[in-house]
Amino acid sequence: MNKLTLQQIAEKLDANYWEAGNKKRVYLRKGYNTKKMTTKTYIYEKEDGTFGISVYIDCPSQDYNWIKSQKEKIEKEVEQELGLLVQEEVFVIKSNDNYIDCIGDEDTLEEAEKFINEKFANEFIKEYDLENVEILKVNNQILEVA
């Protein structure tokens, strides 16, 4: 597959593409935006051609550790979404003859929850307390989905 552009990523993630001068970004609707809290999240292309994720949270009423945890949570979510768009292979969790979907139930491969790495798959297994499952690497079938 050809490398995705930021414009294509914006389209696939239903996000806003922004360009000014040599800066190009895809702004995502992630995190909280209220009277007391502002979150700005965007994807940008690094000089080496890989994509970076920036998350800025402004919330004077919350302490540093809470803001840091929210930032890490958003970064992980965006990393997962972006990875599913650009990676040729992803990981799925299999139980018996079925695959595990986004809520921990058994489903088909097409409906299975896909992960960009084994670490994220293992975290999902722990979160849903799944037993007798295996992690498999498969071709990423959602690359062609608009």
* Residue 112 in this model has a pLDDT that exceeds 80: yes
Q: Do residue 60 and residue 126 come from a single domain?
A: no
Between CA 72 and CA 76 the distance in angstroms is 6
Output the pLDDT for position 109: 86
145 lies in some domain: no
Mean per-residue pLDDT, 42-69: 94
Q: Do residue 13 and residue 69 come from a single domain?
A: yes
Mean per-residue pLDDT, 43-61: 94
Q: Do residue 64 and residue 117 come from a single domain?
A: no
78 lies in some domain: yes
Note down the domain range covering 134: 89-139
Q: Do residue 17 and residue 74 come from a single domain?
A: yes
- Count of domains for the chain: 2
* Residue 144 in this model has a pLDDT that exceeds 80: no
Which of 6-15, 33-42, 103-112 shows the lowest mean pLDDT across its residues? Answer: 103-112
Give how far the C-alpha of residue 85 lies from the chain's centroid of Cα atoms, to the nearest Å: 9
Q: Do residue 66 and residue 101 come from a single domain?
A: no
Cβ–Cβ < 8 Å for 136, 100? no
pTM greater than 0.75 (yes/no): yes
* Residue 146 in this model has a pLDDT that exceeds 50: no
